[in-house]
């Protein structure tokens, strides 16, 4: 088995979609970077890689058996064994994961560029393994709270996080399904539609709102998100955490000037 040593990881916990496991250029100073003293490197098939990168399902038992207690972390002089952790690659992309003792990839991380290059060099003479993964029936499912990659393509880490927050607010709006509330928020998003909005039913208003905001990210998205989550402490706290990494909406910019 191949091994990497002194691997810096930036764990993203509970992220099922690979686009939320940030590459090195999006790591932040206050991220909790850890050192893996030793970690197995496994060259796997593209389908198995996608399954690990973009979902949180049980890993193949053969893969778990192969990496069992072969990884170690180091903090100062303390070296601790990790039950199930490794670096996987399909030859095109690379990811580290740690199951924290479970059977699913709870924590995921990208590598720093120098170590990514080393991975590609190390697998040059190897062949990908499937570890018994049966991909015949596997199909990744996307929905509003787990957006399709094309809806976040090109967005920064901050923008992706705020868009996720917007979708959480919209999900609550859809759950309550109050017609007047839906009409209000569609008018906020697209005032020019007002003459038509008052003749639309719940489904029509919801579809127009969702179709309007689902692509891209802009100041208008950010303003809608900020207004939509107002009065919801948990979502407001998330907003505050992400707002420190950018200048915020045009409205916020003008306040600061």
Residue-range domain boundaries for the chain: 2-122, 149-256
Spatial separation of the C-alpha atoms in residues 162 and 225, rounded to whole Å? 8
Q: What is the dihedral of CA 238, 242, 243, 249, to 10 degrees?
A: -90
Judge residue 41's burial from the number of C-beta atoms within 10 Å of its C-beta, 0-12 exposed, 13-18 middle, 19 or more buried: buried
More confident residue, 193 or 10: 10
SS3 103: coil
Spatial separation of the C-alpha atoms in residues 11 and 5, rounded to whole Å? 17
- Tens-digit pLDDT profile for residues 190-199: 999 999 999 9
The pLDDT value given to residue 254: 37
Residue 215: pLDDT band (50, 70, 90) is very high
On the question of pLDDT at 252 being above 60, the answer is no
- Tens-digit pLDDT profile for residues 111-168: 999 999 999 999 999 999 999 998 777 889 999 999 999 999 999 999 999 999 999 9
On the question of pLDDT at 253 being above 80, the answer is no
> b vs e for 97-113, b when ≥16 Cβ sit within 10 Å of the residue's Cβ?
bbbeeeebbbbbbbbbe
Q: Which residues contact 242 (CB under 8 A, 6 or more apart)?
A: 158, 161, 162, 165
The pLDDT value given to residue 137: 78
Judge residue 249's burial from the number of C-beta atoms within 10 Å of its C-beta, 0-12 exposed, 13-18 middle, 19 or more buried: buried
CB-CB contact of 105 with 18 (8 Å):
no
pLDDT above 70: percentage of residues in the chain: 96
40: which strand partners?
3
Judge residue 76's burial from the number of C-beta atoms within 10 Å of its C-beta, 0-12 exposed, 13-18 middle, 19 or more buried: exposed
On the question of pLDDT at 248 being above 50, the answer is no
The pLDDT value given to residue 247: 52
- Tens-digit pLDDT profile for residues 25-84: 999 999 999 999 999 999 999 999 999 999 999 999 999 999 999 999 988 888 999 999
CB-CB contact of 1 with 70 (8 Å):
yes
| CA 128 to mean position of chain CA atoms | 25
Residue 229: pLDDT band (50, 70, 90) is very high
């Amino acid at each position: 088995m191949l091994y990497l040593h002194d691997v810096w990881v930036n764990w993203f916990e509970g992220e099922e979609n690979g686009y939320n496991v940030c590459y090195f250029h999006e790591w932040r100073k206050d991220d909790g970077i850890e050192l893996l003293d030793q970690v197995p490197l496994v060259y796997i098939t593209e389908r198995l890689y996608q399954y690990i990168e973009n979902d949180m399902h049980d890993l193949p038992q053969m893969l778990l058996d192969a990496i069992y207690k072969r990884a170690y972390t180091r903090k100062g002089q303390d070296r601790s064994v990790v039950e199930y952790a490794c670096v996987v690659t399909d030859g095109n992309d690379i990811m580290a994961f740690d199951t924290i003792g479970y059977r699913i990839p709870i924590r995921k991380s990208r590598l720093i560029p120098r170590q990514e290059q080393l991975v590609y060099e190390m697998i040059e003479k190897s062949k990908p393994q499937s570890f018994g993964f049966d991909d015949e029936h596997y199909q990744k499912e996307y929905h509003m709270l787990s957006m399709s990659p094309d809806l976040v393509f090109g967005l920064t880490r901050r923008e992706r996080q705020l868009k996720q927050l917007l979708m959480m607010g919209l999900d609550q709006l859809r759950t309550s399904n109050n017609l007047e509330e839906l009409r209000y928020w569609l008018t906020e998003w697209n005032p020019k539609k007002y003459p038509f909005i008052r003749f639309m039913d719940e489904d029509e208003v919801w579809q127009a709102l969702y179709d309007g905001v689902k692509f891209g990210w802009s100041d208008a998205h950010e303003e809608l998100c900020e207004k939509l989550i107002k009065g919801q402490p948990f979502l407001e706290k998330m907003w505050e955490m992400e707002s420190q990494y950018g200048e915020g909406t045009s409205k916020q910019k003008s306040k600061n000037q």
